[in-house]
Amino acid sequence: MSTGILLHTNQLNGIEKRILTKVEALDYLDKIVPGPMVRQLEDIISWQQGVLDKENETGRKIGTRQYIYLSDFQKNTSKADAFKADPSNFYYPIKLTPQEQSNLFIDSIWFSSPVHKVGSSKELSIRLINESEEDLTNVEVKFTLDKVQRDVFVDVPAKDKTITTINYTEKTKGYKNGKITVNDKQLFWDDDYYFSYFVDQKLDILIINGEDASQTVEQIYSLEAFYTVKAIPQGSFTLDALNGVELVVLNGVNEIPSGLSENLVSFAESSGSIALFPGKKIDSQSANSFLTKIQLPALGRTIAQGTKIRKVIYEDPFFLGMFDKEKEELNLPAITQAYSVANSSSAKYLDLITMQNGQPLLMRSNNAFNAYLFASSLDQSFGNFTSESLYPAVLLRMAELSQRSGPIALTIGKDAFYPLFEKPATENPVHLKSKKVDFIPRIEKRGLISYLILNGAEAIENLPAGNYDLVDDDKQGVVSLNYNRSESSVEYASSSEIETSMKEAGIENVSSKEITQGQSLAKIDIEKPFEYWRLCVILALVFLLGEMVVLKFLK
């Protein structure tokens, strides 16, 4: 029966599967460096149990096990839902109670608009959370974007959150690296939040003109220098026409053949945007087959009753900042005919504009696709929607929201995929590079897009928070990584709560302890059950003495 120590931090890697002697364990303890990696308690216990079970299976029999856990046992990471029942082994959760239970951290950031282009006004929102019992005033928040720095001062109430905003104008194109910093005395790893994005100088739009195409579509997009527009007849379409395109507008199309449909579905699966403006005589079979594949509703017969525009869904992010004043009820004589919309269980969409008969006029997808459907025709026989001020605003917003961009930030160990919209320039591997790190991530291809896989054990262990360049031979992009904020909360489970939750999960032998008042050294008294060797030694000595006594008296 083997004895030894299985010692690990929260890395849970191959090195930490080794059974150590006491001397090796003490040496390993000296090398442990605190870090911001987040692990659930149930994952740690399951990992330990699995490693020791495997040791037993491979022939190295292990006796009674004693599990020791040193932690502050934050409630966010100490759930016992998935504990494996263990009635025979012994568990010792030792709670390290912090002297000061407070923390101020940056929870998240976001832009009010996803559009990144030169000359655009940017509004960056920053959410701060105060976990302490005291109000914090004039907290300094430092904003850095490339070489530009700005400071703002905010108040954050006790046990509450505050959102502050920073406004600026995008002056140059290219890759942007940013960082938000807050000064705090506790848990320094969550005081920084890194972000990055790309400012483009153009956006490519492909217009596929059907037999009922409206010239106004191309005219509107051509007025904006930011948009590079290419218009082709439907019969001239080839797959090469989609290269570099971010938005495809089906303009006055009545039929969508299977070949075109397959290419457009692959385009949509690769984060391309699609807008369908049907012709006057839509072929329901081919068009609805395509709409079903991108999870938009089917179009039915034409209707002429109650087709006036009644409502714009202003609260949808699509219309954010588009109107100075919102009107609850509209009565625009824009639409005289429209196609009825037949909903289905596979359709996942949101209404953007509705008609008086309750039917939607403009819809957008509400899933992985970025697609739009206009339930009428732009032909004059269907109304004068093209003469309304709402029409160019809708077209331009579709284009703005079609800009392909990766996430402005990823959470280490939580967010897995970062898209590479363009094929790498060479066959060389893509590197994630910073001043201190050079890491080659795994790449997985899905549809027309390749993704960096950043949630594996190797990535978690080797990538600290920060801004990274994506490089093969040339710079291909930027990626920002941040530590998980799960352990930023200072709400802790008590010793009794820890013990109770483990026992309720089927772990019967639990003895919890607590270290308080900032003790730098604490004696951990651990029971040593079933130590038969001590009993054998004692009995051997007793028998030896007994034999000596018997021999002496017999003489």
pLDDT in the model for residue 359:
94
Query: What's the one-letter identity of residue 78?
Result: S
Strands (E), 291-439: 298-303, 309-312, 338-342, 349-355, 360-365, 370-374, 410-411, 417-420, 431-433, 438-439
- Are 310 and 332 spatial neighbours (Cβ–Cβ below 8 Å)? no
* 287 shares its domain with 377: yes
* 275 shares its domain with 414: no
Is residue 545 included in any domain, yes or no? Answer: no
If you average pLDDT over each of 119-128, 246-255, 454-463, 470-479, which comes out highest?
246-255
* 381 shares its domain with 498: no
* 238 shares its domain with 339: yes
Is residue 543 included in any domain, yes or no? Answer: no
Q: Running DSSP on this structure, what letter comes out for residue 134?
A: S
Domain that holds residue 374: 203-400
Least Cα distance to 33 among 485, 465, 461, 458 occurs for: 461
What does the alpha-carbon distance between residue 373 and residue 249 come to, in Å, rounded to a whole number?
10
Q: Is the confidence at residue 187, as pLDDT, over 80?
A: no
Mean pLDDT value of segment 234-263? 95
* 224 shares its domain with 192: no
* 269 shares its domain with 391: yes
Q: For position 246, which CATH number holds? A: 3.40.50.880
Of the residues 348, 380, 400, which one is the last residue of a structural domain? 400
Q: Running DSSP on this structure, what letter comes out for residue 435?
A: S
Buried b or exposed e, range 109-135, using 16+ CB within 10 angstroms = beeeeebbbeeeebebebebbbbbeee
In 416-494, which ranges are continuous DSSP H helix? 457-462
| Prediction pTM value | 0.77
Q: Running DSSP on this structure, what letter comes out for residue 297?
A: P
Higher pLDDT, 149 or 322: 149
Q: For position 137, which CATH number holds? A: 2.60.40.10
Lowest mean pLDDT among 109-123, 263-277, 482-496: 482-496
Question: What are the tens digits of pLDDT across the range 61-95?
Answer: 677 788 888 888 887 777 766 677 888 888 888 88
Of the residues 400, 419, 454, which one is the last residue of a structural domain? 400
Lowest mean pLDDT among 16-30, 269-283, 289-303, 500-514: 16-30
Evaluate the CA torsion angle 268, 273, 277, 279 in order and state its sign. negative
What does the alpha-carbon distance between residue 483 and residue 159 come to, in Å, rounded to a whole number?
22
Burial of 365 per CB tally in 10 Å (0-12, 13-18, 19+): buried
pLDDT band at residue 217, thresholds of 50, 70 and 90? very high
- SS3 of residue 513 by DSSP: strand
pLDDT in the model for residue 204:
95
Instruction: Report the number of distinct structural domains present in the chain.
Output: 3
Mean pLDDT value of segment 291-315? 91
Q: Is the confidence at residue 164, as pLDDT, over 80?
A: yes
Q: Measured in whole angstroms, how far is the alpha carbon of residue 9 from the centre of its chain?
A: 25
Mean pLDDT value of segment 222-249? 94
pLDDT in the model for residue 1:
43
* 217 shares its domain with 363: yes
Q: Is the confidence at residue 213, as pLDDT, over 90?
A: yes
Mean pLDDT value of segment 394-423? 85
Q: Is the confidence at residue 2, as pLDDT, over 50?
A: no
Is residue 554 included in any domain, yes or no? Answer: no
Higher pLDDT, 162 or 546: 162
pLDDT in the model for residue 240:
92
